Amino acid sequence: MDLIPKPDQVVSAASNVAHKMLYGGLADLRPMPRTLIDDGTLREVYHYRPSGTVKETGDPVLLVTPLAAPAICYDLRRGCSLVEHFVTGGRPTYLVEYGEVSFRNRNLGMEHWIDEVVPTAIREVSAHAGGRPVHVIGWSLGGIFSLLAAADSPDLPIASLTAVGSPIDVSLVPLVAPLRPLLNWFNGKGPITKGYQLLGGAPKPLVKWAFQLSSFQKMVTKPLALASHIDDTEFLAQIEAVDRFTDNMIAYPGRTFGQLYHRFAKGNQLAAGDFELDDRTIRLSDIKVPVLVFGGATDGIAPVAAVKAVVPLLSGSPEVRFEIVPGGHLGMLTGRAARRTTWVVMDEWISEWSPDDEDPADKLSSAKAAVAATIGTNPSRRHTSSASRALKK
C-alpha cells in the first residue's frame, strides 16, 4: 500500500479486513480431492482425482513429502498448489505422505523410507497408472530420500527425478556451519543426542521452531509486511496458507533424527556422494535416470551452493539440469512466483522425458516458450546441460 493510500487501495484493504473478520481468512484452503490407493507403516499413497472434464494423460508424477513437513506443502492453497497445477493440466498426480509420527515410531531409521516407503510408493503409482514410468518429485528431505532410493534400487520404474531445495553439502548451510565444531565437541554424547533419545525424536514444537528460525528476519518484519500489504488479497492469502503449513509440522522419529543429526549435520556424509546404510554403501553416481535440481535464490535452509553440490555427484545420470528459481525454502516450491518459474520448468522437463505423452511435441514447444519468456531471461540462472543452455538463446 502506498504511503498515502489511493481510494481503490482503501476499498481493497477494507474488503480484506471485513472478509477476514466474517469468514476467518482470505485463502482458499480446500484440499484437492484424492483417493488412498496404498498404505503401510508411515506410508500413505494418494491419487488425486481428475478435475472436472479434464482427462488424465501421460506418465504420472509422484510427489514425495519430506519428514516433519505436512503434505500440504504440495497443496498449499488453491491458486498456489502444485497438485492443482498438475491435476488441471491432465497429468496423473500422486503423493506419498507419512501421517502422524509418534513415540512408538522412535526405532524407525532412514532405511524405512529409502528401502520401503519411497520404492513401494513408486511401484504402486506405476501399477495404478497402467505400468507407466513415474516422474518423482521430492522437496527438501523428500528429494534426498528419492535420490537415495533411486541410487539403491536401479530397477524402480522411474522416468525422471526432481529434487527441490535438497541440501547435499551441509557444510554450505549457514545455519549449520558455525555449529559443527560444537556438535563434534561431545563426540556423540552431547545434550542433543541425549535429548532426542529421551524424547524418542524431535517433537513437533521443536520442528516448528526450527523452521521459523530459518526465516527469523521475516518473522520480525511480518507485522510491518502485513500492514503494508493490507490491500493485497493474494499476499495476505499466501501468509495465511504458510502459517497453516507451519502450524502443522510433524515430529521426527528418534532413530531417523539421530541419523540425520550425526550423518548430515555433524558428518556431512552425503557431500562425497556416498551414504552408508546398514550393510551397504549407496552411491549417487549409481542413479541412471535424468535428474532436475532446483535451488532457491533466497533459501536459507538449503542455499544454492549446498543444493548445487549434487550435480557433479550424478555422473551416471544421462542428463542433469540445475536451475536457480526465486524464493526461499517453501516459496521456491509453492510461492506465488513458482507458478511462473519452478512449475513451468517442471512441465517442460516432464514433457521432455515422457516420450509417450499425448502430443508431446506440442506440450514441449509450449513449455519451452513459456520458460524462455520467464526464467530464461534471468542472468543468475545456471545451465548444466544443452537443453538448459538452449533456453538462454
Q: 3-class DSSP state for residue 332?
A: helix
Q: Which residue has the cell 484424492?
A: 34
Q: Three-state secondary structure along 99-143?
A: CCCCHHHCCCCHHHHHHHHHHHHHHHHHHHCCCCCEEEEEECHHH
The total of structural domains in the chain comes to 2
Note whether 133 and 3 are same-domain residues. no
Residue 200 has pLDDT above 50, yes or no: no
Note whether 122 and 22 are same-domain residues. no
How many whole angstroms separate alpha carbon 43 and alpha carbon 96? Answer: 7
Note whether 372 and 264 are same-domain residues. yes
- The model's pLDDT over 219-261, given as tens digits with 9 standing for 90+, comes to 434 444 445 555 566 778 888 888 888 887 776 666 677 777 6
Q: 3-class DSSP state for residue 293?
A: strand
Quote the pLDDT of residue 129.
96
Q: How many other CB atoms are found less than 10 A from the CB of residue 386? A: 9
For the chain, what percent of residues have pLDDT higher than 90? 48
DSSP state of 3: S
pTM (predicted TM-score): 0.77
Quote the pLDDT of residue 248.
79
Note whether 220 and 113 are same-domain residues. no
Q: How many other CB atoms are found less than 10 A from the CB of residue 188? A: 12
Mean pLDDT, residues 298-311 taken together: 94
The residue segments making up the domain with residue 174 are 31-178+256-390
- The model's pLDDT over 280-304, given as tens digits with 9 standing for 90+, comes to 999 999 999 999 999 999 998 899 9
User: 186 lies in a domain?
Assistant: no
- The model's pLDDT over 89-134, given as tens digits with 9 standing for 90+, comes to 999 999 999 877 665 666 778 889 999 999 999 999 999 999 999 9
Mean pLDDT, residues 350-359 taken together: 81
Note whether 382 and 268 are same-domain residues. yes
Note whether 372 and 349 are same-domain residues. yes
Note whether 89 and 168 are same-domain residues. yes
User: 21 lies in a domain?
Assistant: yes
Mean pLDDT, residues 326-340 taken together: 93
Note whether 277 and 232 are same-domain residues. no
Quote the pLDDT of residue 117.
95
Mean pLDDT, residues 29-57 taken together: 93
Note whether 152 and 233 are same-domain residues. no
User: Which range, 91-95, 212-216, 355-359, has the best average confidence (pLDDT)?
Assistant: 91-95
- The model's pLDDT over 174-199, given as tens digits with 9 standing for 90+, comes to 765 444 444 444 454 544 444 434 43
Averaged confidence pLDDT in the chain = 77
How many whole angstroms separate alpha carbon 47 and alpha carbon 282? Answer: 30
